Structure 1
């Protein structure tokens, strides 16, 4: 009898351990990711080689279970966030992942444009349609579209920008129908939807999606940026530096291991990101000599200040450099002495 009790207790305990791994809590946990060399990721046709490396830094983010939550509570550079701090209102996890991938895509386009303009080379765009970022519950699109779908025709017409797409739909009224031609996993589909009043503005009608442009940048020489499933906009600065370095004869790395983070807009401005402390930890583990951090125009609570504090705490030898623009990062690197061989 006692043996059966022990076996039963063991089975229940084992089940609870396994269940703890798969039961999701209403939190996300982030932790230091990796610092990844960009030369294998970015290829400019006939581009110049470099002696050192530019590296992007990442944060690992995932839905918390009981164990990852408790682990994050005990570890200094792991953070816990409520779900509503990560997901937008009414946004699903799938839509969040799509949003992150498109933020990365936009980051790559901005990086290419800024780097090529800095190198004195022309940049052109080819508009291809729109991507669905989010489908709003209770609206017509909810029955037919998914995040990640690419719409390239409406009522048989193509448009040269998402603004013109929105303008076309905006002229219609509730009860009117539109036929969308879209692709999902490379398969073409078509659907006809009846417009409904928008909840945020009942005087206007729509199908209930948020969207982003699908456009291709046209440059010479050609450039490829392969990021696979890495999402978010925070690699913008480092992408721009790597592309520009391959376009120009002078090697800005000068033999150093250079990490960093920060968004990049088309004007060359560096913007703040999340998880700067964790990225400092990742860059230090990867042996970076230099780390570029968004300065946010000297704000007291800037990414740069948080990076400095973390660098002191982990006692890294890595130099933390504040930047507000791409040009500032280039000017810093141009003044660097060539790295002596270790």
Structure 2
């Protein structure tokens, strides 16, 4: 009898422990990710090779279970975030992942544009439609459209941007129908939806979707950027440096391992990102010698200042460099002595 009780108790404990791995808590946990060389990820046709490496840095982000929650409470450089700090209001995890991938896509386009213009090469765009990144619950698009759908026609018309789509819909009236032609999983579909007011702002009407432009950049020589499932815009600065380095004869790496992070806009301005301390840890583990960090024009709590503090805490020899613009990064790297 005692053996049966002991066996039953052990089995229950095993089931509870196993269940803890699959039971999601209302938190996201982030931790240091990796520092990845950009040479194998980015290929400019006929591009120049470098002696060192530019590296993008990442954080690992995912829903917390009981174990990862407790681990984050104990370990330094692991952070917990309530769901509402990560997800938009009423945003699903599928929509969040789609948003991150589209932010990465936009980051790549900006990086290519900045690098090619710096190299005095022409840049053009081809517009393919608009991507759905979120569907608003309770609106006509709910259950009809999904995050990641690419809309390329509205009432038979093609639009060159999400702005023009919004302008077109905004001229219609409550109850009017719009017919959307869209692609999902390489299949073309159509759906007709009525327009209705938004609950948050009854003066605006729509079908209840958030959009981003789907466009291709046209450059010569051709460039390929393979990012797989890496999401978010934070690799923009490092993308632009790797692309520019392949376009020009001078090797900006000078033989060093150079990591970094930061968003980049079409004008080459570098913006802040989240998890800078975790990225410092990742870069140090990968052997980076320099780390380019967003300076945010010298703000007291800038990414650069947090990065400096983290570098001191982990006793790394890696040098942390404050960067506000792409041009500033290039100028700094041009002045580096060649590695002996």
Pick the TM interval, shorter chain: over 0.9
**Structure 2 counterparts to residues 3-18 of structure 1, below 5 A:** 3-18=3-18
Report how many residues are paired: 340
Which residue does the alignment assign to 2:287?
287
> What does residue range 42-53 of structure 1 map to in structure 2 within 5 Å?
42-53=42-53
What corresponds to 1:37 in structure 2?
37
User: How far has the Cα of 1:204 moved from its partner?
Assistant: 2.7
CA deviation digits over 1:230-276, x for unaligned, max 9? Answer: 00000000000000000000000010000000000011000000000
> Aligned residue for 1:151?
151
Deviation at 1:200, TM superposition (A): 2.6
Residue ranges of structure 1 left out of the alignment (5+ in a row): none
1:101-250 aligned at under 5 Å gives the runs 101-250=101-250
User: Which residue does 2:270 correspond to in 1?
Assistant: 270
Partner Cα distance (1:5, 1:161) in 2: 67
Aligned equivalents of 1:197, 1:174: Cα separation in 2: 7
Deviation at 1:198, TM superposition (A): 1.7
CA RMSD of aligned residues (A): 0.6
Aligned position for 1:64: 64
Mapped contact 1:173–1:204 kept (Cα < 8 A): no
* Residue aligning to 1:308: 308
- Per-residue CA deviations over 1:125-148 (Å, capped at 9, x if unaligned) read 111100001000010000310000
Could you report, residue by residue, the CA deviation over 1:204-251 in whole angstroms, capped at 9, with x for unpaired residues?
321000000001100111100000000000000000000000000000
SS at match of 1:140: coil
Q: When the two structures are superposed, what TM-score results if normalisation uses the length of structure 1?
A: 0.99
**1:119 Cα deviation after fit:** 0.3
Q: Is the Cα–Cα contact under 8 Å of residues 107 and 235 in structure 1 kept in the other structure?
A: yes
**Cα separation, 2, equivalents of 1:269 and 1:78:** 29
| CA displacement, residues 54-89 of structure 1 (integer Å, 9 cap, x when unaligned) | 000000001000000001111001011111100010
Stretches of structure 2 that go unaligned for 5 or more consecutive residues are: none
Structure 2: distance between partners of 1:333 and 1:223: 22
Aligned 8 A contact 1:32 1:279 in 2: yes
Kept in 2: contact 1:24–1:65 (CA 8 A): yes
* SS of residue matched to 2:142: helix
Looking at structure 2, the residues matched to 134 and 181 of structure 1 have their Cα atoms a distance apart, in angstroms, of 17
